[in-house]
Structure 1
Amino acid sequence: MKTSYRLDSAIKKLYNAFHNNELNPECCKQCAVGNILDNTDSWKHLSDSHGSLKLNYVGKVHQSFGRKFNGYSPLELLKIEATFLKACGYKLPLYYKNDKPKNITNKDVLFHGLSGVIELLCKMDRIPNVMDYTKLFEVENDKPKYELIF
């Protein structure tokens, strides 16, 4: 399957962050978007609150100029982060009194977050979800319908 450079790059960065224990939903440099943007936190100035889908003035200016950050528009970045936080179990926007997972760096919590993000990234690029493994178990005439290629 042919994927875009931005998708390949984002998945590689998220994969490395996950396995190197450098993924933290509450840190703007180590969250999903922070990792996609090379561990920078400049994206946090696009909105007034972490997890919000509403662009602030700065975000609207960048969006209207068609600015891209590692291939993603400001609005796409906010959607990515909100998806990550929701899939990790946060109530949005991020606020200290809102619900959140007990252990924010638990691998299961982070995996759920990454799965949600990768599904969204694939939708943004209009390709099937690369993490959908259900086709591997489809059968036709008692034989696998699809071949597993290594």
Structure 2
Amino acid sequence: MKTTQRLEQALIKLYNAYHNNRLNPEDCSACAVGNILDNHDSWKHLSNEHGSLELNYVGRVHQNLGRKFNGYTPQELLKIEKVFLEACGFKTPLCHYNLKPVNPTSKDTLFNGLSAVVDFLCQLDHIDNVMDYSKLFEQENGEPVYHLKTFLA
């Protein structure tokens, strides 16, 4: 499957963050977008509320100038973060009185958020979800349609 460079880079960063325990939905430098943007939190200045889709003045300026951050527009970054937060169980935009998961950094919670983000990133680039394994179970006349190559010696 052919992917775009921005998708490839984002997937590598998110994969590493998940497995190295550097993914945290409540930290702007360690959330989905924070990791995609090399653990910088400057992206938070694109909106007035974490988890909002509304660009503020700074965000609109960057958007209107066609600015991209690691391949993503300001609006795309806000959408990525919203998808991540909501899939992790947060009510957005984040606020101290809004609903949040009991354990926001549990592997299950983070995996749910990560899966939703990967699906969304693939949609942005018009690519089938790279985490979709349903094709492995397709059958035709009782036989598997696709076969896995094994590397067992």
Shorter-chain TM-score: what band?
over 0.9
Q: Residue deviations 1:56-85, cap 9 Å, x none?
A: 000000000000000000000000000000
Distance in 2 (alpha carbons) for counterparts of 1:110 and 1:73: 24
Name the stretch that deviates more: 134-143 or 16-25: 134-143
Instruction: List alignment gaps of at least 5 residues for structure 2.
Output: none
RMSD across aligned positions (CA): 0.8
Matches within 5 A, 1:28-47: 28-47=28-47
Instruction: Report the CA distance shift for 1:128/1:149 in structure 2 as closer, same or farther (over 3 A).
Output: farther
Rounded to whole Å, the distance in 2 between the matches of 1:95 and 1:149 is: 48
The residue aligned with 2:60 is 60
Matched, 1:87 2:87: yes
In the other structure, the counterpart of 1:9 is 9
Normalising by structure 1, we get a TM-score of 0.98
Q: CA shift at 1:147, angstroms? A: 2.0
Aligned position for 2:114: 114
- Deviation by residue 1:75-99 (Cα, 9 ceiling, x = unmatched): 0000000000000000010011100
Paired AA for residue 88 in structure 2: C
Give 1:149 deviation, angstroms.
4.0
Q: 4+ residue runs of structure 1 moved beyond 4 angstroms? A: none
Length, aligned pairs only: 150
Give secondary structure in 2 for the equivalent of 1:60: helix
Q: Any idea what the Cα deviations from partners look like across 1:5-30, whole Å, max 9, x if unmatched? A: 00000000000000000000000000
Distance 2:51 2:149 in 1: 38
Structure 1 unaligned spans of 5+: none
